[in-house]
Amino acid sequence: MTLDEIRSWLQENDPQKLETLWKQADTLRRKNVGNVVFLRGLVEISNICRRNCLYCGIRAANSKPDRYRMSTSEILDTAKLAKNLGYGTLVIQSGEDLTCQADEMADAIVQIKRETGLAVTLSLGERSEADYKAWFEAGANRYLLRFETSNEKLFHAIHPPAPGEQARNRVEILKSLRKIGYEIGSGVMAGIPGQTWEDLARDVAMFAELDLDMIGCGPFLPHPDTPLGGVGSQESGVGMADQVILDEHLPFKVIALARLVCPKANIPTTTAIATFDPKHGRLLGLSRGANVVMPNLTPTKYRKMYEIYPNKAAGSELPEETHERAVRQIEELGRTLGKGPGTSPRFLQKAVY
């Protein structure tokens, strides 16, 4: 697909044409990754963060959230819960928390692998090459690091480097993660103030260029305690003709286009989408290209503290309730639950050749 084609899909408003986009994405999804929906158990292990991303509610400068970090035994308990609920993968996410030392994390990974055999996906932000290697050697399988926007100037503006450090390029980090041996996942937020339609089209083209194994995208959701909190994309677009406008279709257009450019990738219908459209978001995502759901299994007492954006879906539930709801929704759609690790067909193929 050319950049112009991607862009015109992103800006398409004709309901009939959009139906053809949803259909194409759904067909490609079925052909390449089948009717199986994989569940990934998400555990948010720490909301401690040294960064000050302008969009994120757990940025260091926000003094409102109480800060927490789960112990290794709490993480292990969550892994066992995931295993007992039938999951094949545990996704471990946190702020950029350097108090979580590489060897402690490596030890947790070793224990999770030994006691549950789950595939382990990490989403711990920007760390050193040595840390990434140590975790891979400990048994981690996948790494998620969104490049957030392919517009480098905008990225560095909303994601400033830690004090005294050089800004890093997440696309380069993704390439080195792949070299280490990880399955790599990335993605963007749609509707960031200052993001143009051209930028978002380039984001989709970047998914293809990186040939991603996993693509996670969602709408930008303003958090009131952040510098981007008061601004919806519409207002900030004043004076910027090409500003992306976040409407009800946009998050699904990004998912559908991700499926078109990376047919064999694992693509979740994300929590941000479920938060944006609580009634139908998750199901629409699954009907328009997605094949993965990531139910939040974080212990209830910590959930409210991991508030990267407000009103996060499943904010006060028990992990078992979140899980049950996901299973019901998948069954309602007539899709089947995945078993086992659910490695992306893209990665498996690569491994064969």
Least Å from the CB of residue 316 to ligand SAH: 19
Q: Which is nearer to ligand SAH, 50 or 325 (CB)?
A: 50
Print the binding letters for residues 158-197 with ligand SAH: x by CB under 6 A, - otherwise.
Answer: -------------------------------x--------
Among 38, 55, 252, 347, binds ligand SAH (CB under 6 A): 55
Cβ proximity to ligand SAH: between 54 and 201 the closer is: 54
- Amino acid letter for position 45: I
Cα first-last separation, the chain: 25
| CA–CA dist 129, 102 (Å, integer) | 11
Per rule CB under 6 A, is residue 93 in the interface with ligand SAH?
Answer: yes
Residue 2: CB minimum distance to ligand SAH, A: 26
To the nearest whole angstrom, how small is the minimum distance from the Cβ of residue 331 to ligand SAH? 28
Angle between helices 250-261 and 197-210 (to 10 degrees): 30
Q: How many residues bind ligand SAH (CB under 6 A)?
A: 18
Rg (CA), the chain: 19
Q: What is the Cα–Cα distance from 201 to 36, expressed in whole angstroms? A: 29
Q: Which stretch binds ligand SAH (CB under 6 A): 89-97, 135-143, 259-267, 281-289?
A: 89-97
Contacts of 168 (CB under 8 A, 6+ apart): 126, 161
Residue 183 · residue 177 · CB < 8 Å = no
203 lies in the site for ligand SAH, by CB under 6 A = no
Q: Are 50 and 98 in contact (CB under 8 A)?
A: yes
Q: How many CA atoms are closer than 13 Å to the CA of 141, on its beta-carbon side?
A: 19
> Quick one: DSSP state of residue 310?
T
Smallest gap from residue 125 Cβ to ligand SAH (A)? 3
Q: How far apart are CB 184 and ligand SAH at their closest, in Å?
A: 12
The two three-digit tokens of residue 123, written as one number: 């989403």
- 89 lies in the site for ligand SAH, by CB under 6 A: no
Decide if residue 121 touches ligand SAH (CB under 6 A).
Answer: no
Q: Whole-angstrom Cα distance, residue 271 to residue 282?
A: 8
Told to check if 143 binds ligand SAH by CB under 6 A, we report no
Q: How far is the CB of 19 from ligand SAH (least distance, A)?
A: 27
| Separation between Cα atoms, residue 298 and residue 319, nearest integer Å | 7
Shortest distance, position 35 Cβ to ligand SAH, whole Å: 28
- Does residue 56 interact with ligand SAH by CB under 6 A? yes
CB of 22 closer than 8 Å to CB of 286: no
Q: Report the interface residues with ligand SAH, using CB under 6 A.
A: 55-56, 93, 95-96, 123, 125, 145-146, 148, 189, 218, 220-221, 223, 272, 308-309
